[in-house]
């Protein structure tokens, strides 16, 4: 009995549920495949991976061949944007999460409805597996799917009243809860959902009933029978094979098996939540749902960053930013105003081991990104609050204009809900309609702008396709297929005219993957075209340049020749970039993934995710590793293979990039394997030498390294040597004593500066004393108006100070003529006169500007002005004098 209850308790641990799910499908002949990342591979139609089937999309569509016909996965998913978006439900229901794991079994043209239903039933109800009571399970089927209905009804031990047929909400067969589609286009099909009845402690009715939206009947498993490919116009094309895609939320099934009411009460969430509440010093964690939101969001954010998303103002990065900010605002709701969110990465890893293990390596990086984003948001909030404050001071009435709230949100990132909160506390209403309207206008405007995104140039060129033959050849015969000038297709380009030449095949590499386009020449019998750049326009390669002599016409035969030297230098830098990437991840960690790159004939640039400045030792180690690989003279080889195979071969694949079905896998010895369409050296030895020339930050969490190779590296070394030699010569030093020499110079310089200062001050005192004789009175006030030449502002200030000291009481005006003929003046007034309201330096300066033009400012005891017009210093003296007479 004891053993049994122990088994019972371990069996309901999330890890055990996870394992059992895999065990049953292993037994049923499935291959267990790892989760893909949250950034859908080469699928531009999806924001984030939102279901287990995403990584198999092309298999369902019949584009890729499956390596296995039956597979099972536990897929990490984010539903925080796009068609399936749960962001705003999190914290308000017990069952929504932005990040969750989806257990799934898949059949690619193998089993269909029958086995899918049988397998699901067995896992859920068999005593050896989840052992759920059959009476508590309900299922739904599409009302057009008689086949599924019959299977449930005739082959499964479930009462008929627990099988519910659900139709579509409109005439459209797809518009039903029992029709699943990945997005607006792509694989889809009818589905059968399994629900669990949590009993009458909860409100709500069975699926399909009017009360279905309560919390009593919870959907636990969705079995999708993929048979169609939905087109953009809504049409359903039948797929060549029938497949199965099932999905069961791990957290949700765990909550059922652990007999708790909510996802947030399952074992792992409970521990995470208590740890969060300790860190945030909150007590009433089970009353306040904000802590649920935070627990959910730290999972979503950590995994998004892990998979390569960084906070940004658009796309995936924008959604991540929104989730982070939402978590922080919920922190504020809990009364936590200090920075906290980044601290939650550690407990996440600790308590969610079964999935969070993969976060280990990038732990610091993730925390760093969250911290900097949180700091940024705090600044935004502070600035937003100040601006809102200013608006509220000016406010007439008790309604804040929606456009103002929108401006705060749009320009300063200040959340609308916060504007509402602040206003609410002061009894001010915020015009939500105005806000929504401004938002709508903005969206329309952005849409309009985006319309112009596709350049006319691209549109007009994309129908002609060109074959690139330049991996092996740098010269070849070809034919002119089209010519373009000023975005227009033409037949001939004449001498000295610029244009774009399209060939049927070309050895010229079109700028892509960070590598710049080739230069070179195109020669026909009658003309010579100098190519200054090559670009890709879809399938078309365009040669940009100028006809140097003769003409170039459509249809002519041509000899295309790439600038060999330049190409060689580019290729060396490209191969070195691959070495650099591999060395960086060896030295800094596997989180070093590419953010961008540039490879040209002079240098290479590599941008990557990393949170800290590289130390000199790290840079030296990277240089050493790359150079060692160069000196090994390892072969650089290319294999063309299907993308799936490349993925399994462990090649570095960029997450955000769209790849063709067949890809080039570039291998450098045993050191680096990456997908790459660029051109390369044949052996690493050709690179000669590699040297880093710069390391800097380009954005939060993103570093840039620049480097040179071969003869450019050698000339850089020569330049450094020359520079050192010049320094040695002019400082009469050598490599042993240069540092102590510099130190000596610095000390001498500081000493001399001090001496000069003392002398200058003595001089100022002398000169100032000599001015005293020119002091005169206006009424009882002592006045000194003096013209001086070429004084710095500091000297003028010191002089007035010195004279003030002598005068004890009085007004001093120094009018200074600079070498560049500009006049500026300073006014100083002693304290007693200010206190007696006799005169004030600032108002005197204002009067002067009014009369003479210019700009100025200062304090009552000292002010200055620059005079605009061409007045002479003596004219200004006269004006100042008469002003003083008037004022005093
Ligand atoms: N694709 C289906 C879903 O996400 C089943 O996995 O619900």
pLDDT digits (tens, 9 = 90+) for 578-637: 999 999 999 999 888 888 899 999 999 999 988 889 999 999 999 999 999 999 999 999
Q: Is 541 in the pocket of ligand 1 (CB under 6 A)?
A: no
Mean local confidence (pLDDT), 636-648: 87
CB 802 within 8 A of CB 765: yes
Measuring from atom 1 of ligand 1, which residue has the nearest CA? 51
Q: How far is the CA of 188 from the centre of ligand 1 (A)?
A: 10
CB 235 within 8 A of CB 173: no
Give the per-residue pLDDT at 451: 35
**Could you give the count of Cα atoms lying within 13 Å of 160 in the half-sphere of its Cβ?**
3
CB 400 within 8 A of CB 431: yes
Nearest to 543 by CA among 572, 516, 518, 578: 518
The reply to whether 734 falls in a domain is: no
Clarify whether residues 128 and 221 are in a common domain. Answer: yes
Clarify whether residues 120 and 50 are in a common domain. Answer: yes
Nearest to 162 by CA among 171, 174, 149: 149
Clarify whether residues 59 and 195 are in a common domain. Answer: yes
64 DSSP 8-state letter: S
- Give the H/E segment covering residue 498: strand 498-503
Q: How far is the CA of 312 from the centre of ligand 1 (A)?
A: 29
Measuring from atom 6 of ligand 1, which residue has the nearest CA? 247
Clarify whether residues 202 and 148 are in a common domain. Answer: yes
Clarify whether residues 251 and 314 are in a common domain. Answer: no
The reply to whether 765 falls in a domain is: no
pLDDT-based confidence at residue 84 (cuts at 50, 70, 90) = low
Clarify whether residues 274 and 293 are in a common domain. Answer: yes
Q: How far is the CA of 104 from the centre of ligand 1 (A)?
A: 8
Clarify whether residues 336 and 408 are in a common domain. Answer: no
Question: Among the atoms of ligand 1, which is closest to the Cα of residue 102?
Answer: 6
Q: Which of 82-96, 112-126, 471-485, 831-845 is the least confident region?
A: 82-96
Measuring from atom 2 of ligand 1, which residue has the nearest CA? 247
pLDDT-based confidence at residue 284 (cuts at 50, 70, 90) = low
Question: Among the atoms of ligand 1, which is closest to the Cα of residue 53?
Answer: 1
Q: Which of 12-16, 55-59, 637-641 is the least confident region?
A: 12-16
Give the per-residue pLDDT at 229: 92
Q: Whole-angstrom Cα distance, residue 120 to residue 221?
A: 8
The reply to whether 668 falls in a domain is: yes
Among 245, 249, 253, which residue has the most ligand 1 atoms within 8 Å of its CB, making it the best to mutate? 245
Give the per-residue pLDDT at 10: 47
Q: Is 604 in the pocket of ligand 1 (CB under 6 A)?
A: no
Q: How far is the CA of 245 from the centre of ligand 1 (A)?
A: 7
Beta strands 70-78 and 527-537, pairing class: unpaired
pLDDT of 189 higher than 90: yes
| Segments of 61-185 assigned E as strands | 70-78, 99-108, 137-142, 163-166, 179-181
CB 448 within 8 A of CB 524: no
Residue at a domain's end among 524, 542, 559: 559
Clarify whether residues 235 and 282 are in a common domain. Answer: no
pLDDT-based confidence at residue 448 (cuts at 50, 70, 90) = very low
Give the per-residue pLDDT at 459: 39
Clarify whether residues 52 and 121 are in a common domain. Answer: yes
Question: Among the atoms of ligand 1, which is closest to the Cα of residue 52?
Answer: 6
CATH number for the domain harbouring residue 137: 3.30.930.10
Mean local confidence (pLDDT), 37-61: 85
| Segments of 310-413 assigned E as strands | 399-400
pLDDT of 533 higher than 80: yes
pLDDT-based confidence at residue 286 (cuts at 50, 70, 90) = low
Clarify whether residues 553 and 574 are in a common domain. Answer: no
Q: Is 858 in the pocket of ligand 1 (CB under 6 A)?
A: no
Give the per-residue pLDDT at 457: 44
Q: How far is the CA of 618 from the centre of ligand 1 (A)?
A: 45
pLDDT-based confidence at residue 841 (cuts at 50, 70, 90) = very high
Count Cβ neighbours within 10 Å for each residue of 624-653 and write b for 16 or more, e otherwise.
Answer: ebbbebbeeebebeeeebebbebbeeebbb
Q: Is 302 in the pocket of ligand 1 (CB under 6 A)?
A: no
Q: Is 222 in the pocket of ligand 1 (CB under 6 A)?
A: yes
Token pair listed for 625? 């590793």
The reply to whether 727 falls in a domain is: no
Clarify whether residues 71 and 121 are in a common domain. Answer: yes
CB 671 within 8 A of CB 631: no
CATH number for the domain harbouring residue 590: 3.30.980.10
Q: Is 53 in the pocket of ligand 1 (CB under 6 A)?
A: yes
CATH number for the domain harbouring residue 850: 3.10.310.40
Radius of gyration of the chain from Cα atoms?
A: 37
The reply to whether 676 falls in a domain is: yes
Q: Is 676 in the pocket of ligand 1 (CB under 6 A)?
A: no
CB 505 within 8 A of CB 519: no
CATH number for the domain harbouring residue 496: 2.40.30.130
Condensed to tens digits (0 to 9), the pLDDT of residues 728-742 reads: 999 999 999 999 999
Q: Is 180 in the pocket of ligand 1 (CB under 6 A)?
A: yes
The reply to whether 738 falls in a domain is: no
The reply to whether 634 falls in a domain is: yes
CB 546 within 8 A of CB 531: no
Nearest to 223 by CA among 382, 102, 397, 323: 102
Condensed to tens digits (0 to 9), the pLDDT of residues 6-27 reads: 444 444 688 889 899 999 999 9
Q: Is 246 in the pocket of ligand 1 (CB under 6 A)?
A: yes
Q: Is 35 in the pocket of ligand 1 (CB under 6 A)?
A: no
Residue at a domain's end among 265, 297, 315: 265
Q: How far is the CA of 707 from the centre of ligand 1 (A)?
A: 47
The reply to whether 726 falls in a domain is: no
Measuring from atom 4 of ligand 1, which residue has the nearest CA? 51
Q: Whole-angstrom Cα distance, residue 188 to residue 181?
A: 4
Token pair listed for 476? 């070849």
Q: Is 224 in the pocket of ligand 1 (CB under 6 A)?
A: yes
Q: How far is the CA of 183 from the centre of ligand 1 (A)?
A: 11
Condensed to tens digits (0 to 9), the pLDDT of residues 231-251 reads: 878 889 999 899 999 999 999
Task: List the beta bridge partners of residue 498.
Answer: 546
Nearest to 459 by CA among 487, 440, 421: 487
Among 222, 227, 252, which residue has the most ligand 1 atoms within 8 Å of its CB, making it the best to mutate? 222
Say how far residue 551 (Cα) sits from the centre of its chain. 47
- Please tell me the total count of domains within the chain: 6
pLDDT of 289 higher than 50: yes
Residue at a domain's end among 242, 265, 288: 265
Condensed to tens digits (0 to 9), the pLDDT of residues 359-376 reads: 888 888 899 889 988 988
Token pair listed for 749? 């310089």
Q: Is 790 helix (H, G, I), strand (E, B) or coil?
A: coil
Domain that holds residue 501: 458-559
Q: Is 247 in the pocket of ligand 1 (CB under 6 A)?
A: yes
Q: Is 189 in the pocket of ligand 1 (CB under 6 A)?
A: no
Mean residue pLDDT of the chain comes to 88
Question: Among the atoms of ligand 1, which is closest to the Cα of residue 104?
Answer: 6
Q: Whole-angstrom Cα distance, residue 132 to residue 11?
A: 13
Among 40, 49, 53, 119, which residue has the most ligand 1 atoms within 8 Å of its CB, making it the best to mutate? 53
Clarify whether residues 440 and 463 are in a common domain. Answer: no
Q: Which of 445-449, 489-493, 513-517, 552-556 is the least confident region?
A: 445-449
């Amino acid at each position: 009995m004891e053993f049994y209850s122990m088994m019972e308790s371990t069996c309901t641990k999330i890890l055990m549920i996870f394992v059992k799910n895999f065990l049953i499908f292993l037994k049923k002949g499935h291959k267990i495949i790892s989760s893909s990342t949250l950034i859908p591979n080469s699928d531009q139609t999806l924001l984030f991976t939102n279901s287990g089937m995403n990584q198999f999309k092309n298999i369902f569509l019949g584009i890729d061949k499956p390596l296995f016909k039956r597979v099972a996965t536990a897929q990490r998913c984010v539903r925080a944007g796009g068609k399936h978006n749960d962001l705003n439900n999190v914290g308000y229901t017990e069952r929504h999460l932005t990040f969750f794991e989806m257990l799934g079994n898949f059949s690619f043209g193998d089993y269909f409805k029958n086995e899918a239903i049988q397998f699901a039933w067995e896992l859920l109800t068999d005593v050896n597996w989840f052992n759920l009571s059959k009476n508590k399970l309900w299922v739904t089927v599409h009302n057009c799917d008689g086949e599924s209905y019959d299977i449930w009804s005739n082959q499964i031990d479930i009462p008929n009243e627990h099988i519910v047929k659900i139709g579509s909400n409109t005439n459209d067969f797809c518009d039903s809860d029992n029709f699943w589609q990945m997005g607006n286009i792509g694989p889809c099909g009818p589905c059968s959902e399994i629900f669990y009845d949590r009993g009458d402690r909860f409100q709500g009715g069975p699926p399909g009933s009017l009360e279905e939206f309560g919390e009593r009947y919870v959907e636990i498993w969705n079995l999708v029978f993929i048979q169609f490919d939905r087109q953009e116009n809504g049409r359903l094309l039948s797929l060549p094979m029938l497949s199965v895609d099932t999905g069961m939320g791990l957290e949700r099934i765990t909550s059922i098996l652990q007999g708790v009411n909510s996802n947030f009460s399952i074992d792992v969430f409970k521990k995470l939540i208590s740890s969060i509440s300790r860190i945030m010093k909150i007590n009433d964690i089970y009353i306040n749902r904000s802590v649920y939101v935070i627990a959910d969001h730290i999972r979503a954010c950590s995994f998004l960053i892990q998979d390569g998303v960084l906070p940004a103002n658009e796309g995936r990065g924008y959604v991540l930013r929104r989730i982070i900010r939402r978590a922080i605002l919920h922190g504020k709701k809990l009364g936590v105003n200090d920075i906290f969110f980044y601290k939650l990465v550690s407990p996440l890893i600790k308590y969610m081991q079964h999935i969070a293990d993969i976060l280990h390596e990038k732990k610091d990086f993730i925390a760093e990104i969250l911290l900097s984003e949180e700091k940024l948001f705090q600044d935004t909030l502070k600035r937003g609050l100040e601006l809102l404050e200013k608006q509220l001071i000016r406010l007439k009435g008790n309604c804040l204009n929606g456009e103002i709230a929108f401006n705060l949100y749009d320009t300063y990132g200040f959340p609308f809900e916060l504007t509402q909160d602040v206003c609410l506390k002061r009894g001010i209403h915020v015009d939500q309609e105005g806000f929504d309207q401004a938002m709508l206008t903005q969206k329309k405007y952005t849409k309009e702008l985006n319309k112009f995104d596709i350049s006319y140039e691209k549109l007009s060129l994309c129908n002609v396709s060109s074959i690139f033959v330049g991996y092996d050849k740098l010269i070849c015969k070809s034919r002119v297929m089209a010519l373009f000038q000023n975005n227009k297709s033409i037949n001939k380009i004449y001498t000295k005219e610029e244009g774009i030449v399209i060939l049927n095949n070309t050895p010229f590499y079109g700028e892509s993957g960070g590598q710049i386009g080739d230069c070179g020449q195109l020669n026909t019998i009658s003309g010579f075209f100098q190519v200054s750049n090559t670009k890709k326009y879809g399938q078309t390669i365009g040669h940009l340049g100028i006809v140097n002599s003769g003409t170039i016409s459509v249809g002519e035969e041509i000899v295309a020749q790439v600038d060999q030297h330049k190409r060689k230098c580019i290729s060396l830098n490209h191969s070195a970039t691959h070495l650099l990437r591999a060395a960086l991840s060896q030295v800094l960690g596997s989180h070093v993934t590419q953010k961008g790159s540039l490879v040209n004939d002079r240098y290479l640039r590599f941008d990557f995710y990393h949170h800290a400045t590289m130390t000199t030792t790290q840079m030296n180690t990277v240089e050493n590793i790359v150079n060692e690989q160069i000196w090994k003279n390892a072969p650089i080889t290319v294999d063309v293979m299907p993308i799936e195979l490349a993925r399994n071969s462990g090649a570095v694949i960029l997450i955000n990039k769209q790849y063709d079905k067949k890809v080039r896998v570039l291998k450098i010895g045993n050191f680096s394997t990456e997908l790459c369409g660029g051109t390369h050296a044949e052996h690493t030895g050709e690179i000669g030498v590699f040297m880093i020339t710069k390391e800097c930050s380009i954005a939060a969490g993103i570093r840039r390294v620049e480097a040179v190779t071969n003869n450019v590296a050698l000339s850089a070394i020569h330049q450094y040597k020359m520079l050192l030699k010049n320094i040695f010569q002019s400082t009469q030093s050598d490599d042993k004593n240069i540092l102590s020499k510099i130190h000596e110079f610095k000390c001498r310089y500081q000493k001399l500066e001090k001496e000069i200062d003392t002398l200058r001050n003595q001089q100022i005192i002398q000169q100032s004393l000599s001015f005293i004789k020119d002091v005169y009175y206006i009424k009882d006030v002592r006045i000194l108006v003096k013209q001086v030449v070429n004084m710095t502002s500091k000297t003028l200030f010191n002089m007035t100070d010195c004279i003030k000291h002598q005068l004890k009481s009085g007004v001093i005006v120094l009018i200074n003529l600079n070498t560049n003929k500009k006049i500026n003046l300073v006014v100083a007034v002693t304290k007693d006169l200010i206190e007696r309201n006799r005169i004030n330096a600032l108002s005197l300066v204002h009067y002067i500007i009014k009369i003479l033009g210019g700009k100025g400012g200062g304090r009552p005891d000292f002010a200055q002005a620059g005079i605009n017009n061409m007045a002479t210093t003596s004219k200004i003296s006269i004006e100042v004098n008469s002003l003083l007479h008037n004022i005093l």
